[in-house]
Amino acid sequence: MKPKRVFQGLLAALLMGVSSASAWAATPPSAQAAGVTMGSVAMDIPVEMIKRMSALTNHLALNTNLNVRFRPSPNLGSAVDDLGTGQTQIAYLTPVAYIEARKKYGVIPLVAPTAGGRPHFALVIGVKAGSGISSPEGLKGKRFAFGDEKALLQRAAVESMGLKSGDFSAFAYLKHYDNIAKAVLAGDFDGGILKDSIADEFKSKGLVVVGSTAPLPSYIFAVHPGMPVAVRKQLRDALLALNKSTPEQAATLEAFDKSYDGFVVVDDPAYDTVRKLIQPFQK
């Protein structure tokens, strides 16, 4: 019955765009363990996000005593506020979104996904093959694509590679990394900032990486500070148990993100390197 409850929840989130979940403090303990709403930064349009997250929420429902469903967020800011105000109780966040949610609401880090066994990723600059651009320097005076305007790490990453927004003839915010890759390949922009795993997906289509950051702490699952410890432990243990040891688990991870191979426990200090990178860009 659990998978059925999960997919009913997913359908409700898609059709109504609302969650029946409220802050933990507003419900009795017996109800708290019954339902968990998962949020996420917007990596794609809501329909695609539901497809990406459904296998993961199904895994959690099957391996806990919880009814887990997904609620898409339109942007980074709403994902942060949804988690902080209890509209969602667990969320998949970028490092910057996590740092903001931690500072504003005191959210608790749970686990981070791993690629090659390590909880790290890189931001890269991608261009179209044959463009004649072979380094970040070659994008000065060119058109450039960013993702979310609130994603301070993207701006910090570009500056770490020797470029500033003022160096471009034009730039725009395209929300999702997939949008950026497609726009660069279509010739709408000369270059764009991408997550390394997305750049890898588009290499066969003619995308070339010309710059990269040093390894950065991974995206993260964080939970609402009012989540009961027993519920938090169930979610943590179910995610830690997810790896590529069976075809079913491998398929779950691949649906979520093709580059991921498991999860590890992380703590707040792991994100101090990102705090230092974005500090100059914070108001």
Judge whether 92 and 66 are in contact, CB under 8 Å. Answer: no
Q: What's the one-letter identity of residue 105?
A: Y
Question: CA 42, 178, 269, 228: dihedral to nearest 10 degrees?
Answer: 30
pLDDT at 57 over 50: yes
* Mean pLDDT of the chain, nearest integer: 88
Residue spans of the domains in the chain: they are 2-119+217-270, 123-214
Same fold, 2-119+217-270 and 123-214: yes
pLDDT at 7 over 80: no
pLDDT at 219 over 90: yes
- Joined tokens for residue 28: 């009795």
Residues 176-194 have pLDDT tens digits of 899 999 999 999 999 999 9
Residues 66-113 have pLDDT tens digits of 999 999 888 889 999 999 999 999 999 999 999 999 999 999 999 999
Superfamily of domain 123-214: Periplasmic binding protein-like II (3.40.190.10)
pLDDT at 258 over 60: yes
Check: CATH 3.40.190.10 for 2-119+217-270? yes
Judge whether 231 and 79 are in contact, CB under 8 Å. Answer: no
- Joined tokens for residue 160: 């770490």
Chain-centroid distance of CA 199 in Å reads 15
Strands 191-195 and 143-146: parallel
Which segment of 4-8, 18-22, 53-57, 164-168 scores lowest on mean pLDDT? 18-22
Closest among 5, 21, 256, 233 to 115, alpha carbons compared: 256
Helix (H) or strand (E) holding 223: strand 220-223
pLDDT at 29 over 50: no
pLDDT at 136 over 80: yes
Please state the rounded mean pLDDT for residues 114-138.
96
More confident residue, 14 or 194: 194
Q: What's the one-letter identity of residue 152?
A: L
**Exposed, middle or buried, 229 (CB in 10 Å: 0-12/13-18/19+)?**
exposed
More confident residue, 75 or 28: 75
Q: How far apart are CA 257 and CA 263, in angstroms?
A: 12
Please state the rounded mean pLDDT for residues 43-56.
85
Judge whether 246 and 227 are in contact, CB under 8 Å. Answer: no
Q: How far apart are CA 22 and CA 31, in angstroms?
A: 11
Confidence band for 233, pLDDT divided at 50, 70 and 90: very high
pLDDT of the residue at 34: 60
pLDDT of the residue at 31: 42
